[in-house]
Chain A
Amino acid sequence: GAGVSQSPSNKVTEKGKDVELRCDPISGHTALYWYRQSLGQGLEFLIYFQGNSAPDKSGLPSDRFSAERTGGSVSTLTIQRTQQEDSAVYLCASSSQTGPNEKLFFGSGTQLSVL
């Protein structure tokens, strides 16, 4: 696609439910990143993928959070037993390679609201 696509754009769920957030990176981009943007917290790194493997998942807040990437393309971020503090915008980004001089392209995010 032309850009990084995330779905859904908005998700409202009840506390305790599981949610899946999807990211479709730019075609051919091998690196994929998930960030979380909370009010007053800025953007927090969650996890990144190089291909289908995740060399760094240090930012995942708890074991309720998991992510996978298949076929070196689409990634899914899953939050189990959602809590109100999980409410945030979840941003996905991709780049053609990993490395500090590679430009990140961000999607518009998924706004998650946990009631």
Chain B
Amino acid sequence: AQSVTQPDIHITVSEGASLELRCNYSYGATPYLFWYVQSPGQGLQLLLKYFSGDTLVQGIKGFEAEFKRSQSSFNLRKPSVHWSDAAEYFCAVSTGGGNKLTFGTGTQLKVEL
């Protein structure tokens, strides 16, 4: 069965520092991979997605993610974090059957000023 692992439950970074959030997936076929962000009291917003082609994908708000098939990873990165990036981040894989998503448990990002 497909699964998504986000090993870091909480991460704290200083504003202006770089960020990397880890995501590992388990899925037999070519995965469709996503990163979503959830700010307090708001719904999830899609940051970026990977389907095929270039393994480095660019998203909104200056985020990017790199798909590495050999490591079954899809880590999210940002060169310089802003205080407004504080939120919870979810990695997800689409397992077909519509757009049914399997989510990781999320990483809560705190930004220190």
Contact = CB atoms under 8 A, between A and B. Distances in A.
B105 A31 contact: no
Interface string B89-113: 0101010111111111110000000
Contacts of A4: 43
Contacts, number: 70
Given A100-B32, A101-B32, A45 B43 contact: no
B41 interface: yes
5 A-B pairs with least C-beta separation: A106-B43, A42-B105, A98-B98, A100-B94, A43-B103
B32 A42 contact: no
Interface of B: 32, 36, 41-46, 49, 51, 90, 92, 94, 96-106
7 contacts: A35-B101, A42-B106, A44-B103, A48-B98, A56-B97, A103-B49, A108-B41
